[in-house]
Amino acid sequence: MIYPQLAPIDWKALVGGDAVATAQIAARDRKLAAAAQLPGTVLALARRLEAQDALFSCTPEILAAEPLAARWYLDLAGLTAKMIGKIKPGWEAAGLTRSPQSVAESRAKGRSITADRLAKFSAWINDILLELYPTASRSTDLALCTVLVLTGARIDGQVRNLAGDDAVLILKSLLTAAFSARGVPIETQGADDVWEDWEPGVDLMARKRLRFGGRLVCEFIAGGNRPDIKVMLDSVVTLVGEVKGRSDLSNVWESWMPQINGHLQTWTSENSQAPRVFFGTIITSEMIEGHTRGGTRHTGLRAFSSSGLLRAAYNLANIAEGKPAAVAAFDDLVDRLQASLA
């Protein structure tokens, strides 16, 4: 059967979710993905700089050859973006008309910088490094540890600003972990449409499609009435889903539920045979039963299910937190998706 025959909804396993816990889980996954890139970036750069005796000494040639070198030296000097702004008179006096932060960002993106500007950047940063690190105190371990501390702080700040897609990230992480545990080959596809073998730590938010067993594709391209997740087997749509990660419950009946209802109806007309699924990070009994504490009646998830609009629902936060019933329900979903590959 090409369409997965999903188990009945476990309504008890569905209730729960914690906005704080959800955010922490997603933040962890983002940090681990960022950390997985460091051996091929920061560590590899450190080895190349060490080979040139340039861990603590900047040159225009190194800045031109190594896109991440400017950032290395700024981190080694403990200079964050905010601090660079506060010491503007110093780097302006050194002849820099462009912020050192801007220079580092441009080089990291592979953009060229004039030789004169690179020379002035080198002279300016070398004066600071010489003051901070007398020759006798310099070591590879010190340089690498210092840069990694600053890199980690920057990653932490970036992660704090990326909470909007927490639910999608958690779902991608759960799917890759589950299929990996089952020994199913996994590939990912980014904006360049090139399929690559998945490895733990890959930045899943940058991947718009996941492919399992070479045939089962999970697509994550939201927008308009597009499903947040679309599952395809050999290009045939076999499952569509809504993924909700909001934490503000004040507009459940004004925004959340009407939007879910509208999407379910649209997808029913577009892919009538494909099961329609809801993934949420916070699901309350009120959302399920369709009533408020004040007694107002609404159309909830149970009514969507009874009408045939909704086939299955899963609480991502409960799954990620390891709650047995929620994990069992998700495992059953993955088992049925895997079975479609047979």
Q: Give the span between the Cα atoms of 330 and 310, in whole angstroms.
A: 16
| pLDDT under 50: residue ranges of the chain | none
Domains and CATH numbers, the chain: 11-30+163-339 (3.40.91.10), 36-160 (no CATH)
The predicted pLDDT at position 336 comes to 96
What is the pLDDT, as a whole number, of residue 202? 85
The structure tokens 């730590």 sit at 201
Give the CB-side neighbour count of residue 96, counting CA atoms within 13 A.
25
Q: Are the beta carbons of 242 and 278 closer than 8 angstroms?
A: yes
- Enumerate the H helices of the chain as residue ranges: 11-14, 19-37, 42-51, 60-65, 69-76, 81-86, 88-93, 100-108, 115-132, 140-160, 166-181, 257-270, 285-289, 301-307, 316-320, 324-339
The pLDDT of residue 166: 82
Predicted TM-score (pTM) of this structure: 0.65
Q: Which residues of 113-127 are buried (b: 16+ CB within 10 A; e: fewer)?
A: beeebbebbbebbbe
Handedness of CA 16, 20, 21, 25 (dihedral sign): positive
Phi and psi at 201, nearest 5°, equal 95, -5
d(CA 167, CA 251): 18
What is the rounded CA–CA span in Å between residue 101 and residue 81? 6
Q: What is the pLDDT of residue 19?
A: 63
